[in-house]
Structures are given as C-alpha cells and as structure tokens.
Amino acid sequence: MDGSSELKKTPLHALNVSLGGRMVPFAGYDMPVQYPAGVMKEHLHTRAAAGLFDVSHMGQVTVRARSGDNTDAARALETLVPVDIVGLAEGRQRYALFTNDEGGIRDDLMIANRGDHFYVVVNAACKDADFAYMQEKIGDICELTLHDDRALVALQGPHAEAVLAELWGDVSAMRFMDVRACDLHDAHCIVSRSGYTGEDGFEISIPADLAETVCRRLLDHPDVLPIGLGARDSLRLEAGLCLYGNDIDTVTTPVEAGLEWAIQKVRRTGGERAGGFPGAGVILDQLENGAARRRVGLRAEGRAPVRADAVLATDPEGQDIVGTVTSGGFGPTIDGPVAMGYVAGKATAPGTHLYAGVRGKFLPVTVVAMPFVKNTFKR
C-alpha cells in the first residue's frame, strides 16, 4: 500500500493542492512544504508583506473545569506546567511547557484563557500523547476535548493586521498574546495575536467546514501568499524559536533551552505557588544554580549552512567537542547561514569562536545572541 494513503489530511488539503502546494508527509499529515513561489520567495514575502500558513495539523484542545469554576482548570493545568495559569487574565494567552519528572520537556504549547474554559494548542506530532496525558492527569477535574472539527491557520507579516482588518476592524486593538472571538466571513473564529515567525501576526481557529472560504478570502488580498513548511522553518529559525523534537525534547530542560523567561516568579522558589509541576526539583535548582549546557545562536562564516547534528568544537581539529547543532540552515532575510545548538557552559558567551563539523571539515562559527532577525510583535 502506498504510505501516502495513510496520511491524514487537514480541512484545507484540497485548497493546498489547488494552490499548487508540493505535498509531503509531516507529523502524520499530507502537508505543503512549498507552493509555486518557492521557499525563498515565500520566506521573504512573509517578512515584507503577509503569508498564510495552514497549521491545522496542530492539536486544539479545550479544557473546561467540571465544577464550572475556571480557576479549578487553571490550578489543574499548573500541575502539568511550570507556568502561571491562575494569574493568566481572560483574553490572554501564554507560552507553556509540559515537563516530565526529570525536568525534560514533553512538549511546548500555548494556553489561552477564554473565560469559562482554556484553549490549548499543542504540537502535531505530540497531540495524541498530550491529550492522553492530560486525560490521565487532570481528566477527573477537567472535561477535555480534542477538536478535529476546526482548522488552524497563521497569518503572519507586517501587513497581517491590515489584511485581517478588512474582515474584522477590531483586530487593530489587539496586542501580542491577546485572544478574541470574532466572525470572519460568517465563520465564528478564535483569533490570537501570536505566531511562529518573529513577525507580527495572528493564529486563527476556524470551523473546518468554513475554513477554505475564509482562507480564499484572505488569499484574495494582493499582499497575501500561501506559505509552506519550508519557509515556516527558516522563518522560525531566524526568529530563534525552538522546534520540538529538534531543539527541545524530553531530555532538555527549560533552563538548558534558554526558556526560563516562560517560568513566572510565582512558580519559582519563594513564589506563592512555587513548584508542584513535574521535574520541579531539577528545574528550580537550575534556575538558581544554572545548567551545564545552554542553547545558543550560531553564525557561520561563508555561505555553507551548518545543519542539525553537526558537532561543535573549540578547535579546528575537532578534538575538544563542546556541543551539537540542533537546527541550521540558510537565513534568507540575513542572506547567510544561521543555526542554533547546545554548548557547554564554557562556550556559551556571545562572541565565542567555535568550529562545526561539516562534511569532514571543521568550519568556523561564532556564538551570537538570538533572535537573528529582530521580532516585530505588537506589544
């Protein structure tokens, strides 16, 4: 049997094909890696105007307290993440992490307070496991629903607000990480001002049966192009954003990953609700005392990209290995190679000169601060 016949299809699959998307298997779905414009043009168009991404393969979950009190759902979620959910205001969204008992990251996700419930978006490859995990851990307190009746798209880029405002004028009042309900082209949608590109933009949850209609309306705008997985990856890499399974995983802690900014004071040692999440002992200790390794940005000399799994050494012979690249490629915006990876504490300072193993040679790279391209979130 052709393996492609087993792939799932998003509600926008027919649209993706009609737009000339080159379809590839990704996280169990048949997804567009690029459209006829090509990865480079799609990437640069998103930075200059607006791009529309089908991200319907992601998991959308509603979490509703069985008691009817949303604070009970917040407290339940706090047993799974090292993040302040109780203090998350209605209409706001927060980046979070499911952690394990060793302090590693099971998944990274978004949690939005919708007033009478929480709306959670998890990664596609993890969504079934995440849902089962939530059912096991908090299913007695919360009613959980994994939605297959909704599409999810991202409209990203400096013109995203102007494009969306033609369908919903109130969008201009939203700030980064705001979440609102609205009607777009007669479809009841959930819109968050967020994304995975470093650009201003929105993620829009749409009823599956109306998703193509809404997306065609957005694509009718001359500033909008459809964007595939290829440009999505290069955009998030330039923005210094982690890809689950590459840059973060079950043996990587939030502190090692440089994600301690996502752990609010109230959940840290001395805070009102300190600890109480999986791996708290490890993570709280690292917050106080540091970790032995750290995720860093890397810029290579020349034009040759440094790819994932390349080793990093302090010497050009590769004798003193201090780390590994986890993501790497060519950054179209900066017209040069960019990468990120983990290095030992002695090599984490910006300006540190290292060497990356590429096809039998060790090429010079420099540790740099991230993001590689300044973000343009509307705060």
pLDDT in single tens digits along all 379 residues of the chain: 344 458 999 999 999 999 999 999 999 999 999 999 999 999 999 999 999 999 999 999 999 999 999 999 999 999 999 999 999 999 999 999 999 999 999 999 999 999 999 999 999 999 999 999 999 999 999 999 999 999 999 999 999 999 999 999 999 999 999 999 999 989 999 999 999 999 999 999 999 999 999 999 999 999 999 999 999 999 999 999 999 999 999 999 999 999 999 999 999 999 999 999 999 999 999 999 999 999 999 999 889 999 999 999 999 999 999 999 999 999 999 999 999 999 999 999 999 999 999 999 999 999 999 999 999 999 9
pTM of the shown model: 0.96
Rounded CA separation 296/23 (Å): 32
Q: For residue 135, give the nearest of 120, 150, 116 by alpha carbon.
A: 120
State residue 3's pLDDT score. 45
Ramachandran angles phi, psi of 285, nearest 5°: -65, -45
Topology, domain 292-379: Elongation Factor Tu (Ef-tu); domain 3 (2.40.30)
CA 52 vs CA 17, 223, 332: distances in Å: 15, 10, 18
> Looking at residue 90, what is its pLDDT?
98
Are 113 and 73 within 8 A, CB to CB?
no
pLDDT at 101: 98
Q: Is 11 in a helix, a strand, or coil? A: coil
Per DSSP, the three-state class of 198 is coil
Tell me if residue 288 falls in helix, strand or coil: helix
Task: Please report the pLDDT score of residue 327 as a whole number.
Answer: 98
CA-nearest of 348, 241, 236, 272 to 87 is 272
- Can you give the three-state secondary structure of 206-253, one letter per residue? EEHHHHHHHHHHHHCCCCEEEECHHHHHHHHHHCCCCCECCCECCCCC
Q: List beta partners, residue 105.
A: 99
Distance (Å) of CA 171 to CA 23, 186, 341: 32, 16, 36
Fold of 3-55+149-238: Gyrase A; domain 2 (3.30.1360)
**What residue segments make up the domains of the chain, in order of their start?**
3-55+149-238, 292-379
pLDDT at 180: 98
Burial 55-81 (b: 16+ CB within 10 A, else e): bbbbbbbbbbbeeeebebbbbbbbebb
pLDDT of residue 5: 59
